[in-house]
Structure 1
């Protein structure tokens, strides 16, 4: 038969208090564990929320990145297309700079003894009596060309003698505002006015050539390369050939007109009008 140690009341109370103390500690530990568990759960939920937000941000980032890449490629293609157009335009501009519009619009050459402008002969010969309609048309073209060039440089060019291009009926105005007809047919009584008109035309041509020469010097072009007419003009003469019709042989008159057109062409292709457009001819 076993024997049991019977606790006294005092020992029993002490033991009971000890057990109750341990129970309180365990309960406190359980409560602390529950609190920590709740905190961990709250942190996990917060991390899950942040993770979800991060995923959304990452998805939005890649979506915007892809859009940006697409737009970048589109802009690069558009830029390349614009650069290609600019290159073509620059090439076209260089071509235009090398193109003398006036020279193309007013084709001056010769047909035998005649100077011609846009296929209109200027002058008459005993064996080739050119009609006055053709001569008038040639003078009309010559007046239009010279007037176009001098107008380009107004007011720098002192336009003393005015060219009045009026189709096949051009006129010339002197410094006193007197107007002279530069068209035919011409008879004995009409020829002095016609001669005066041609002489004034020569004077205007010479004035503009001298203006071109001075401008070349101002632009530091070497003197030997400054503009100069191939045929000297002095009053009513071109290389000693009188341009007036009165008391003049048709051969001399026609040659003077041919030299005049040659000077006009030289002025067109070698003067400042041409150099400004990017072409330098001498």
Structure 2
């Protein structure tokens, strides 16, 4: 390693700016990377031009001109790589300098300490020798020794007048490089010889030239004929284009006329469909009224107006479902309409039997029915809810509690009149059949069962009242209803009068109130 550095230092002065293969190469020293970077920046960036080739296929300068030219291209690429490596090494060198400076500072501080306490006079000489030895040791911040070796070898291969002796390692590398360049030159020589042989081995005869001229004349005549045909086709194309434009205009006119005809036809068709729907609706209404008139004589008004049944796990009144399920969500508009029907039915039954509820008053207003507390402080509770009113003290739950209390009072009144009746479910405070009537979170299944049991008791009470022959138009009941309900409640109560004869009118009135 030390011998190769000595060879490179000895060649530095001779190869500092010697032209090698069309460029200026410089041997980079190892003592200072910053000086090497300055030398690299001074190098000109000139593109290598290939040497001229003779008629025989060989280069005009010498046998090694091709190898030198290829080597110059490789050197340009290597030069760019060296430049990038030099930048990275410069950063490493800066860190190395800082480390060396810290080491020097530490040595200086230690020397001063020993000089002050021990008194050695030769400390400065030893410190300078130590610094020289440290500078002489190669570091990672120096440029690559491989780059120096390649530069020296290239200088020898180019035939420069270098008189400095070379070490064995450098000589071995140079011999290997010269062998590779010689092999590449021999390969290129073979390629050039084959090319020249192929291009000069087949002479052209006069007969072949005449034959080629005949073919050229034939193709020229054919080209002229094709050009004439092309002109005819161009003229035909222009005529066809004009015809196409005329037909396009006619087509647009026909499309516009067809669109107008279709618009008229669609308008007439819509009118016809509308008239048919009106006719069908009138016919359906006539048929429905005829059926109602035919069946009004032998139907019970209460059972016909308040149809209580079951739809799966839900109880229904007039086809309105009551309750909620985890698998199927019932809209609150439908539930509120069902509560309006229940409030109207409970108030109607109480009026028919002559019962006046204590503490509460029912105001049936369809999907917006209310419960009014008459005892103590007058309060108004709603009998229509939503998903947000799922806590115990909500106005909806208070209204449900008041309604179930009124239902319990009616059940007690009926049992007092007829001890033989056995209602299926018992009412205890805010529960019926053991299930709470309040709408609470995560208890939809219990709430649905409680509403189903309440509808069952209402159906039993409706059957009992109808069987006893109570009349809706009793004077006492009419007077009590007129004084206790609002205007909308009076209209809802009028839906239960003997004039109405079916359940559909009741449904229509309740939807109107909602």
**Consecutive aligned runs of 4 or more in structure 1 exceeding 4 Å deviation:** 188-191
3-state SS, counterpart of residue 368 of structure 2: coil
Matched, 1:101 2:292: no
Task: Give me the whole-angstrom Cα distance separating, in 1, the residues matched to 2:329 and 2:424.
Answer: 28
List gaps (5 residues or longer) in structure 1. 1-94, 217-222
In 2, the alpha carbon distance for the partners of 1:146 and 1:133 equals 20
1:170 to 348, 369, 372: 369
Report 1 or 2 for greater relative contact order, CA contacts < 8 Å, sequence distance ≥ 6: 1
Match of 1:214 among 389, 403, 416: 416
**Structure 1 residues 37-77: Cα deviation after superposition (integer angstroms, max 9, x where no partner):** xxxxxxxxxxxxxxxxxxxxxxxxxxxxxxxxxxxxxxxxx
Deviations 1:223-250 (A, max 9, x none): 4x2x332111101111111110124511
Deviation at 1:209, TM superposition (A): 1.2
- What CA distance in whole angstroms lies between the structure 2 residues aligned with 1:100 and 1:209? 22
Question: Distance in 2 between the 1:140 and 1:196 partners?
Answer: 16
Q: Partners of 2:389 and 2:366 in 1: how far apart?
A: 24
Q: TM-score, normalised by structure 2?
A: 0.32
Aligned residues: 172
Shift of residue 122, structure 1, vs aligned partner: 0.3
Question: Which protein has the larger Cα radius of gyration, Structure 1 or Structure 2?
Answer: 2
Q: Does 1:266 align with 2:460?
A: yes
SS for the counterpart of 2:330 is coil
Following TM superposition, by how much is the alpha carbon of 1:252 offset from its aligned partner in structure 2, in angstroms? 0.5
Consecutive unaligned residues in structure 2, runs of 5 or more: 1-296, 472-514
SS of alignment partner, residue 264 of structure 1: helix
Measure the CA separation in 1 of the matches of 2:402 and 2:449.
Answer: 18
Superposed CA deviations along residues 3-36 of structure 1, whole A, max 9, x for unmatched, are xxxxxxxxxxxxxxxxxxxxxxxxxxxxxxxxxx
The within-5 A match list for 1:220-235 is: 223=419, 225=420, 227-235=421-429
Asked if residue 116 in structure 1 is aligned to residue 309 in structure 2, the reply is no
Name the SS of the counterpart of 1:168 in structure 2: helix
Q: How does 1:132-211 map to 2 (within 5 A)?
A: 132-154=332-354, 157-160=355-358, 161-176=360-375, 177-188=378-389, 192-211=394-413
SS in 1 for 2:457: helix
Q: Are residue 237 (structure 1) and residue 439 (structure 2) matched?
A: no
Give 1:219's aligned residue.
none
**Whole-Å separation in 2 of the counterparts to 1:206 and 1:197:** 14
Q: What SS does structure 2 have at the residue aligned with 1:104?
A: helix
